[in-house]
Amino acid sequence: MKQEIKDYANFQLEKSRDTLAEAKLLYSNNYFTGAVNRIYYSVFYSVAGLMSLFELSTSKHSGMLSNFNREIANKGLVSRKLKDFYVEIFDKRQEGDYKVYKFANEEVKE
C-alpha cells in the first residue's frame, strides 16, 4: 500500500477525532443540531479514511454511505451496530441541516 494512502487515512482519522471533540463541546453547550452535524462528520471522516485503504472514494455523502455498505458492512468487515449507526447519523444530519427539526438532549446523547 502506498504511503500517501496511509497518510491520507491517518489524516482522516485525526480529523474524525477533532470533529468528535467539537461535537462534545457543542453538545455540552446545548447546541444539539451542531453536535449532530459534527458527530456525522466525525463518522464520515473515519469512513473516508477506511475507504481510502480500499482505494474507494466518492464526492457525494450518499455515495460514501452506499460504497461503505456494499464494500465494507455487507461483507461483514464491521459490526451491524456500526453500519446501523452510520445510516442513523446520516439521516439525522440530513434532518438537522435541511429540515425544520429540533433535536432533544436525550436524542443526541444517545
Using one digit for the tens of pLDDT, what is the confidence trace for 32-73?
A: 999 999 999 999 999 999 999 999 888 899 999 999 999 999
Give the CATH number for residue 76. Answer: 1.20.120
Whose cell is 468528535? That residue is 20
What integer pLDDT is reported at residue 57 of this predicted model?
82
Could you say which DSSP state residue 22 is in?
H
Average pLDDT, integer, range 14-41:
98
How far is the C-alpha of 43 from the C-alpha of 85, rounded, in Å?
9
> What cell numbers appear for 27 in the block?
453538545
pLDDT in tens, 74-106: 999 999 999 999 999 999 999 999 998 999 999
Give domain status of residue 110, yes or no: no
Write out the residue range of the structural domain in which residue 73 sits. 3-99
Model pTM score? 0.93
Q: Is residue 106 part of a domain?
A: no
pLDDT at 103: 95
- Looking at residue 58, its pLDDT comes to 85
Domain count for the chain: 1
Instruction: Render 49-88 in DSSP notation, one character per residue.
Output: HHHHHTT---SSHHHHHHHHHHHTGGGTSS-HHHHHHHHH
- Indicate whether 75 belongs to any domain: yes
pLDDT of residue 110: 85
Q: Is residue 66 part of a domain?
A: yes
Please tell me the distance from the alpha carbon of residue 98 to that of residue 68, in angstroms, as a whole number: 23
